[in-house]
Structure 1
Amino acid sequence: MAELPIIDVSALRSELEEGNPDLQKLCNQVKEAVQQWGAFRVVNHGVEQELLNAVDSVSRDLFNLPPQVKERAVNLPLDGYSKGISLSIGEVMCIPAVPPSDSLQQYAHKFWPEGNSEFWEHKDLGVITILYNDQVGGLQMRTKQDEWFSVKPLASSFTVIIADALKMWSNDRCWSVEHRVAYEGKNPRLSIGFFWKFLKEKEVCIPEELIDEHHPRRYRPFLFKDYVNHQVKGDPLDIFL
């Protein structure tokens, strides 16, 4: 049965010189994972369990609010609250990426007019997703052999997922994995994604060192905002080829 690679990233928390065998081993593991799987799980990442517990708790508090309160933040398609949309099962809350400032406090004020000092989440639509899942399970991914498999819960781990824009930037060196949630249980399931993206106004161009006779250029340069707009509208992506 297929199972995502589990990578110990504790070496990144030490001062290692280039060429160090531990660092080289880690790089090789990540390279193989993104090429063959399009995703991997990391352990020993240094994020304290107390912080994970706190994020889990405050997120559940958010979704346990009355529907009329959560609907104050409806602002589709890329941020805010939504329920029953085609991309997910259940409820989704996307928080725009903003610095710790009055902007985030105003956003939280939609739900807690009296204030909530523990609410501190932000999310980006991006090309790399760092995913936290609780122990309920339900995440599934499709292999290159077109077979779906379940990602088993792994306490205190994160799942790193490669998305299409990074696949394009890498000239298809990285694999973009298709994934879904298949869950029919009765217990609430919590998943939190942290997204990294290219700047909207910046041009995404394949680095020259990733182009050779065995890997000809697959995509023309494009603005990331154009790519996002096409994805959101469901338009064909032929203009990027």
Structure 2
Amino acid sequence: MASDLPVIDLSLLPSTFAEKQNLSDLEGNNELKKLREACQELGFFHVVNHGVDKALIEKMDCASRDMFSLPEEVKKRAIFPIPSAGYSPPTLGADGKDSMPESMHFPGQSVLPNSLDQICTKLWPHGNHQFREIAHTYNSHMMSLSQRIIQLIMFGLGLDVSKYYKSDLFSSFIDGYVRMNYYLNRKDEKESQNGYKTSMAHTDIGILTILYQDDIGGLQIRTKEGSWINVKPMKKSFVVNLGDCLQMWSNCRYRSAEHRVVYGGLKQKQDRLSVAFFYIFEEKAEIKAPEELINEENPKKYNVAKFGDIIERYVQLGPKLGGSNYFLI
């Protein structure tokens, strides 16, 4: 079943928040209402008029494709011994299920300092200043956009944005990183008969994810009822989804949804590209729901947890379960 995600027009919402700004200041604002409902129901939405220049997005698309077009032996120079860092070759699951795309991870400063420079040096020993500059600029814009979105999310929860956004948790323990994904449309004996592959269904464990995807499509979201819906690509937009940490921090007011990508197939002739920016906490950050979100009707759902422990449980339990489940009360 195909679905149009809620579309949030950021030009109709505040770009900054005054001290102790009240929710009544935006009473009747349709965009805020749509944002709140999207966070509660799907955990996914499009954002438009986001302020990221179209030319930069196009450059990032081209730079990503050029990088993936490098010879395999060159890309493998950027394989790192730590998880979610550097190059990961594509993997194919039985009958095409639980496959993983070819990807390049550029971890944040708290995991691998100066990862962009380190990876670029391995791929291009003589330098590739253009790629570095594009990737660095894109990462910077994604961090700024994430910071704006999280403030809107806080405001939609009825919280004092100035209090929580400036708290130690969101001012001292924030990180972010880019992952480029390339979904090859190649027929393989292990694939299902129709040629489709399905990436491993999972939730994102961070705060939120901002996704650029081309117009090929394939992204699917699992609804609260358990069915899978297809997300239609939308030009000039980013897809935003909430992660496990935000579900925990919001005391389950907002939702981290399971999702996957179905790609390839006989009718699809092109490969699929996406670029995801993950807005996350540093490993030592402690996730604890604000007292304002806990009451008799909404009792405390999670024990206090460090992000590093959530990652550890995520690895142990598997991405279909998510690392946050272990910390449910």
TM-score by length of 2: 0.67
For residues 136 and 198 of structure 1, the distance between their equivalents in structure 2, rounded to whole angstroms, comes to 31
Asked if 1:227 corresponds to 2:228, the answer is no
Asked if 1:209 corresponds to 2:210, the answer is no
Q: Percent identity?
A: 41
Q: Structure 1 pair 117/140, CA: closer, same or farther in 2 (3 Å)?
A: same
Query: Could you say which residue in structure 1 is the equivalent of 2:283?
Result: 200
Asked if 1:152 corresponds to 2:232, the answer is yes
The residue identity in structure 1 corresponding to 2:215 is Q
Length, aligned pairs only: 240
For 1:89-104, what aligned pairs fall within 5 Å after superposition?
A: 89-98=100-109, 104=116
Deviations 1:2-42 (A, max 9, x none): 33101111134767875554994332221111001111001
Of 34, 44, 55, 2:49 maps to 44
- Is the CA contact 1:16–1:23 (under 8 Å) kept in the aligned structure 2? no
The residue identity in structure 2 corresponding to 1:188 is D
For residues 15 and 90 of structure 2, the distance between their equivalents in structure 1, rounded to whole angstroms, comes to 44
Of 223, 242, 250, 1:162 maps to 242
| Structure in which a larger fraction of residues adopt helix | 2
3-state SS of paired residue (2:120): helix
- Is the CA contact 2:13–2:32 (under 8 Å) kept in the aligned structure 1? no
For residues 293 and 17 of structure 2, the distance between their equivalents in structure 1, rounded to whole angstroms, comes to 26
Structure 2 gaps, min length 5: 140-176, 179-204
Q: CA deviation at 1:238?
A: 3.0
Query: Could you say which residue in structure 1 is the equivalent of 2:218?
Result: 138
- Is the CA contact 1:40–1:160 (under 8 Å) kept in the aligned structure 2? yes
For residues 122 and 279 of structure 2, the distance between their equivalents in structure 1, rounded to whole angstroms, comes to 25
Query: Could you say which residue in structure 1 is the equivalent of 2:123?
Result: 111
For residues 158 and 2 of structure 1, the distance between their equivalents in structure 2, rounded to whole angstroms, comes to 16
Asked if 1:30 corresponds to 2:42, the answer is no
The residue identity in structure 1 corresponding to 2:89 is K
The residue identity in structure 1 corresponding to 2:214 is D
Query: Could you say which residue in structure 2 is the equivalent of 1:7?
Result: 8
Structure 1 segments (4+ residues) deviating >6 Å: none
For residues 60 and 225 of structure 2, the distance between their equivalents in structure 1, rounded to whole angstroms, comes to 36
The residue identity in structure 2 corresponding to 1:4 is L
Structure 1 gaps, min length 5: none
Q: CA deviation at 1:61?
A: 0.7
Asked if 1:175 corresponds to 2:180, the answer is no
Q: CA deviation at 1:126?
A: 2.4
Query: Could you say which residue in structure 2 is the equivalent of 1:127?
Result: 207
For residues 218 and 38 of structure 1, the distance between their equivalents in structure 2, rounded to whole angstroms, comes to 18
Deviations 1:212-235 (A, max 9, x none): 111111111011100111102327
Question: What is the CA RMSD across the aligned residues, in angstroms?
Answer: 2.5
Q: CA deviation at 1:141?
A: 0.8
Asked if 1:80 corresponds to 2:86, the answer is yes
Q: Structure 1 pair 20/205, CA: closer, same or farther in 2 (3 Å)?
A: closer
Shifted more, 115-124 versus 67-76: the winner is: 115-124
- Is the CA contact 2:86–2:119 (under 8 Å) kept in the aligned structure 1? no
3-state SS of paired residue (2:292): helix
Indicate the structure whose relative CO is greater, using CA pairs within 8 Å and at least 6 residues apart.
2
The residue identity in structure 1 corresponding to 2:311 is V
For residues 240 and 271 of structure 2, the distance between their equivalents in structure 1, rounded to whole angstroms, comes to 22
TM-score by length of 1: 0.89
